[in-house]
Amino acid sequence: MNIVITGASRGIGKRIAEVFAEDKKGHTILLCARNEKTLSAAATDLQSRFPRTNVWFKALDIGNKEGAKAFGFWVLEKISKIDVLINNAGTFVPGDISNEPDGALEKMLGVNLFSAYHLTRSLLPSMLEHKSGHIFTICSIAGLQAYPNGGAYSISKFALLGFTKNLRHELMPHGIKVTAIIPGAVYTDSWIGSGVPPERIVEADDIARLIYTAAHLSPQATVEEIVIRPQEGDL
C-alpha cells in the first residue's frame, strides 16, 4: 500500500506511520511535517527499524495553499496511486473567541482545515482515476460540541468535520472511502508536564490501530466516523 501522512514527525502521525510500517507485507509511506530535522529523524528511525517499508519524506508547511499543493505534487512524482491518505496536520491555540490572540482563527483554519482541503484536492484526480483509496481526517470532539477555551480551534474542527462529511458524500459513487476520526484528549507531547497522568487519556497507538483496521476492511464496507474519548470522560 501507498500511505500518505501529514503531521507525521511526532505524536499521532508518527505512531500511525509506525503501525503501518510494522506490517510484514511492507508498504511505501510518504511523510510530511514542517520541521525538517524532526521529520528526517522520524523517517530515518522508521526506515532503519522496518526495512521492508519504503519511507520518503518532504518537509513543508502545508498550512498554506502553496505548501499543501507542493506536497501533493511531490507525492504524485513519487507514486501514481494513493491507497491511504491521512490528513493529520493540526495545531491548537487556546482561548475563547473574545480573548484569543489575533490571527488565531486564520492560523488554525490554515493548518487544521485548508491543509486537508488543498492536499486532498491535489491528490483526488489520481484517486478518481483509480476509483480507489481511503481518506482519513483527524478531527476532534471539539468539532462536535463547544467547550471552554476552545474558540477558533473548535471552529476549525467543526469545519474539518463538515469537509469530511461532504467529501464522503461526493466520493461515495467513485469507490473512494472517507472516514472522520474524532478523538478526545490523546496523550502526545503537548500533554507532557501538564500534570495529567498518561493513563487518564487516550494513547496515540489507539488512534493508529483504529485507522489501520479501518483501512483493511473489505471494499464494500467503510467506517464513516469513529468517536474515541477517554474512558473516564473528557478533560
Tell me which residue has cell 480507489.
132
From the candidates 147, 153, 187, 212, which is the catalytic residue? 153
Active site annotation includes 212: no
Instruction: Return the SS3 of 54.
Output: strand
Q: Residue 153, CB half-sphere, CA atoms under 13 Å: how many?
A: 18
Furthest C-alpha separation in the chain: 51
Residue 58 backbone dihedrals phi, psi, to 5 degrees: -145, 120
Name the pairing type of β-strands 186-187 and 202-203. Answer: parallel
Give the Cβ contact number of residue 206 at 10 Å. Answer: 16
Q: Which CA distances in Å does 166 have to 133, 163, 219?
A: 16, 5, 20
As annotated, the active-site residues are 153
